[in-house]
A and B are shown apart, each in its own frame.
Chain A
Amino acid sequence: MNKITIFFTTLFVAGLALPISNLLNFAGENEPIAVKVGSSEKFAQVSQIWQNKCVDCHSPNMTRMRIFRLQNR
């Protein structure tokens, strides 16, 4: 097996390891959680950031991506 074959095989295997749906954001979104009445505007913004950027790793039952659900079993 020459170096070029090894290189492309490695690249192919690495590519398979990546969950393409995650990269392309096909996995969907959670239903937005509304903040309770009386919360500050700033908290509403923070909650939205958490729901978009933190939910997959910090909310075990709310992960959006299939790969995380599988790993959280």
Chain B
Amino acid sequence: MAKHIEESTQRFVLVTEIYNGEIPLTPLMLARLEGVIRNDEMPPVSYLSMHWDGGLTQGEKQTILEWISQERAKLSAGSQTAEKLKGEPVQPLPLQIELNAEKVVLGQKLFHDTNLSGDNTVSCSSCHDLTKGGTDQSKVSTGIRGQQGGINSPTVYNASYNVAQFWDGRAKDLQEQAAGPIANPIEMGANWDEVIEKLKAIPEYQQAFANLYAEKGLTKATVTDAIATFEESLITPNSRFDQYLRGNEAALTADEKEGYALFKENCASCHFGEALGGGSFEKMGAKNNYFKLRGGELTEADNGYFNFTKQEKDRYFFKVPVLRNVEHTAPYFHDGHAKTLAEAVKIMAKVEKDKNFTQAEIDKVVAFLKTLTGEYKGKSVAQLTTKDVKK
């Protein structure tokens, strides 16, 4: 019971200012609350065994769910979401965002530039290929001199929606993340001083940095700032699901809608918000041991968030991946273990919810997930060519 209370207060703390309404619940807390209510997970059996009248009635559950919907509607007021869907756990990506266009262009050039690696063979786009869903579609990434990394490349699309960057959250934002792989000996294996000298020797960069960063010039900070600004531009709106959320009922088939209903019931407490993820760190195997099911030796990467915080409570926790364009980002999970979406859905249902999804249920959830493929530069992520992403 003591362990349960400790976990409870880590996941969902109610303080006086929340009880009295001064502090609103965050989207993450709303998602977690909805998840436990929909799945009858609260109060737990151990609590009910000692508080016979402690359970929630159907009426109380309904009241909470209706209130959650109202709160979300308040948060999405002014959005393009259809009125009746404003209370949903997922909201559409904005069709446009405001960024410094010149910085985006500079960042795009740097993102694709192999000068940022130690031997001029690898660029950011080698592992985050915009024609491959923003990933390399490999189990683990390959760095300079053919070195294999220890973890799967997460998508760079919609990465600005992540609460932190990398699977283990060790970078607080996109700029900090951009600096990491460049100096990592098994990724891009470069030395920042040498990278800066190489870039300074290119007149086009000299001019661009002089225009955009007149005071700071061409430095590690300005290079990563430009890359981060470009990455902020990598949002993929207007998926079929977004069209549905904006009011086009016909954008989804009946099976896809049923898949969304299953998704809401089982997945949306972690995969919520515009990006359907990226909002929290969750345990890989909340209900069943994922690593036992996977088999094989545990790796350092398997420790997840623990590798950054060094706190035992964070072992096996990972940043929840965004699910936008997920059809195009296989293989799945931090270890690239699941080769297909169907396999990923089946495993997640088992280890996170302790459920054995039927094949029909898996098919419906997968059908829904495939509606999340959006557009970049006005073209479907599924159809992008190298020319499209560099123009």
Q: Which residues of A contact B (CB under 8 A)?
A: 18-19, 22-23, 25, 33-36, 39-40, 42-43, 45-47, 49-51, 53-60, 62, 67-68, 71-72
B20's contact among A36, A42, A58, A59, by CB below 8 Å, is which?
Answer: A36
Contacts of B42 in A (CB 8 A): 54
Contact B63 A53 (CB under 8 A): no
Contact B20 A34 (CB under 8 A): yes
How many pairs of residues, A versus B, come closer than 8 Å at their CB atoms? 86
Residue of B nearest to A55 (CB): B14
Interface status of B56 (Cβ within 8 A of chain A): yes
Contact B60 A58 (CB under 8 A): no
Nearest-neighbour CB distance to chain A for B40, whole angstroms, equals 13
A33 to B20, CA, bound (A): 6
Given A46-B64, A47-B19, A59-B15, A53 contacting B54 (CB threshold 8 A): yes
Contact A58 B9 (CB under 8 A): yes
Q: Which of B314-354 contact A (CB under 8 A)?
A: none
Contacts of A51 in B (CB 8 A): 19
Nearest-neighbour CB distance to chain B for A29, whole angstroms, equals 13
Q: A56-B5, A71-B5, A72-B5 known; 7 other A-B pairs, CB under 8 Å? A: A35-B19, A36-B22, A40-B70, A49-B60, A49-B63, A58-B8, A59-B9
Contact B50 A71 (CB under 8 A): no
Contacts of A68 in B (CB 8 A): 1, 5
Contacts of B4 in A (CB 8 A): 57
Main secondary structure of the interface of A (DSSP, over half): helix
Interface status of B308 (Cβ within 8 A of chain A): no
A71 to B9, CA, bound (A): 13
Residue of A nearest to B70 (CB): A42
Interface status of B83 (Cβ within 8 A of chain A): no
Nearest-neighbour CB distance to chain B for A70, whole angstroms, equals 9
A58 to B9, CA, bound (A): 5
Given A34-B20, A42-B70, A49-B60, A25 contacting B53 (CB threshold 8 A): yes
A59's contact among B13, B47, B53, B67, by CB below 8 Å, is which?
Answer: B13
